[in-house]
Amino acid sequence: MAALPAFRVIVPARMHSTRLPRKMLADIGGKPLVAWVAERAAQSGAQEVVVATDHEDIRSAVAARGVKVILTSPDHPTGTDRLAEAVAQLALGDDEIVVNVQGDEPLLDPELVRQVARSLADHPGASISTAAHPLHDAATFFSPNVVKVVIDDAGYAQYFSRAPIPYARDAFAKSREALPADFPAYRHIGIYAYRVRFLREYVSLAQTAAERFEALEQLRALGHGYRIAVALWNGNLEAGVDTQEDLERVRSVLASR
């Protein structure tokens, strides 16, 4: 296996959350949710883990745990915009690698973080890397709530969609109850590594029609000619925290550890 490249993790953590108010500060075993995420990310071997937040309450709670944290604008429309401000504040070099770890995923596998960082380092033509998991279930494949990705033979993303892609024309004409054997269906996993140069350029990119209609931010990069490498992940996928039920599940899992 290739050596682990140098990289940093930035955890965007905004206070507003519709389904679970103030979830970044939700208590899990005496520690706020976002602090668990930062600790988990640190286990990846990152040079540094930085929380980028829009709220003083999050800043003070994270700083009290000894985690590096910076305050960013509350007006960013996306987490990527928040990352762009963070790398500017941190004065990072254009060729440095930054992994975006969502602040609501305290069960994230550190190996997935490493794999995404390594994938970007191994694909010099890519500005971004992300991850995907093989799909074997037809119902999941046809669900518009599941984002799929088509990957070329060099390991780069060709397209992301909520639609069932690629489409097995002949097999699905007969039945859509099961996926055909050896069908290259992949579920996108929402973790990204970026070259800092791309983050500096991202803020000036116009939204594309595909991004707007699919509601998939990564299509902006593809639409403007940036390449996205895709790491294939076969490990477990743990859901993040979006609801009170998710929070109780995570509390139970972490208590058992």
**pLDDT over threshold 90, residue 19:** no
Give burial (CB, 10 Å; 0-12/13-18/19+) of 185. Answer: buried
* Cβ neighbour number for residue 165 with a 10 Å cutoff: 17
Distance of CA 167 to the CA centre of its chain: 25
CA distance 202 to 80: 8
The pLDDT confidence band at residue 1, using thresholds 50, 70 and 90, is low
SS3 1: coil
Indicate whether 75 pLDDT > 70.
Answer: yes
Section 224-246 average pLDDT = 94
In the beta sheet, which residues pair with residue 100?
10, 192
